[in-house]
Amino acid sequence: MTDAARYLAEAELAVGTIPGVPADIQPRPTETAAVIGAGTMGSGIAMALANAGVAADLVDVGPEALERALARIRGSYAASVSKGRLTQDAADRALGLIRPLAGLEHVSRSDVIIEAAFERMDVKLAIFRELDRIAKPGAVLATNTSMLDVDEIAAGTSRPQDVVGLHFFSPAHIMRLIEVVRGRSTSAEVLATVNGLTRKIGKIPVVVGVCDGFVGNRMIEPYFREAEFLVAEGASPLEVDHALTEFGMAMGPFAMADMAGIDVRWDVVRRRAALWAPGDRYSALVERLVEAGRNGLKSGAGFYRYDPGSRTPVEDPSLHSLFESEARRQGVKRRHVSSVEIVQRCLLALVNEGARILEDQIVPRASDIDVIYVRGYGFPASKGGPMYWADTIGVARLVTEMAELESRLGAVWRPAPMLAALAAGGGRITG
């Protein structure tokens, strides 16, 4: 076993120790579960539960959405059987545990309720107000939000102690990571309950605090920022993605953005714009793509184009004029950008934000960040995660590189105080 593999194995064990949650605390029952929202994510969560033998009521407002969800679920099980990943008996057993039900009133007896509705605060608040009215006392009320404020959602109920975030990763029945979002009122009993349930269904739960984007999506923002700046400065999306997949990432940022949806990315950018400081440099590429109807894979074009029926990204020369226009708007001169610079800037952005997350005490351990990035975001396991990778390179060296980037590219590159202190004292992020 390599040092990185040993480190990750120990890190995955460590996430089971949750500050403030005694090891012997009695969890609540999890015999009955309901998933609200029959979209792709809700269907995947229901499958994840059923695959582990947990009966799952899949709830939506109308029969049409449920019919589409069942067709999607049946198709997924059929594909798994045809590829030899699952026996027909196992698929039939799991499918039999998923019960489609129209109307929220059906969750009134569920032990655990997981909301997987559209990622908008008004939508989630409306659902949780209704859950507060109809869910039985002691039911765990979980939201699958990927970045919204769990404390605000909990405050919409009279039982904030029962509310917790369960950020599943897509596809939910396959991806092993779950960010368990601990609100300021979430009880230790609820945390123990969802930790046990998520492990029962074969997931790795990492408890995180409330902030915009939690850990994974908070860190992905500066990573995307640098990728988009590098394209304005002269790299192509293909060059950026190739450099990072050669480093070992499972997918490059532009292929990832296309797969998730450029319109989804644009919603995030618009919401986060309020956090920018006056004069901050920003990229308008995503906005321009959405205006052009290039919403990613689902529309046949985003940062790449896609042939009909294909999921393979193809470089699109027609975007060169857009990149040149963006360079002029930002006041940068286009140039050759090396793969070394691409990897340096994207990864250092991850590490710097990870250090700020530690400073904000969103997670108690640097190794928690590494588990999240390896298991949820495709960071190469062979390199241990971004924080472990930073230690292997040397914090002092990385801080020197950040200081040079700050002198060229502005205050956004100022090293996090934690990193500066570690560099000065010869310390390590991961201890």
Active site residues: 167
Q: If DSSP codes are grouped into helix, strand and coil, which group holds residue 301?
A: strand
Contact 154, 126 (CB under 8 A): no
Q: If DSSP codes are grouped into helix, strand and coil, which group holds residue 13?
A: helix
Residue 343 token pair: 């990897």
**∠ CA 149-153-155, rounded to 5°:** 115
Q: If DSSP codes are grouped into helix, strand and coil, which group holds residue 38?
A: coil
Helix or strand run (H / E) with residue 99:
strand 98-102
Classify each residue of 362-376 as buried b or exposed e, where b means 16 or more C-beta atoms within 10 Å of its C-beta. bbbbbbbbbbbbbbb
Torsion of CA 386, 389, 390, 392, to 10 degrees: 170
Q: Which of 35, 68, 297, 64 is nearest to 173 (CA)?
A: 35
For β-strands 163-168 and 177-181, DSSP reports them as: antiparallel
Maximal C-alpha separation, the chain? 62
Residue 152: is it exposed, middle or buried by C-beta count within 10 angstroms (0-12/13-18/19+)?
Answer: middle
Quickly list DSSP for 352-420.
Answer: HHHHHHHHTTSSS-HHHHHHHHHHHH---GGGT-HHHHHHHH-HHHHHHHHHHHHHHH-GGGPPPHHHH
Q: Under 8 Å CB-to-CB from 177, ≥6 apart: which residues?
A: 169, 203, 204, 206, 371, 372, 375, 376
Contact 164, 139 (CB under 8 A): no
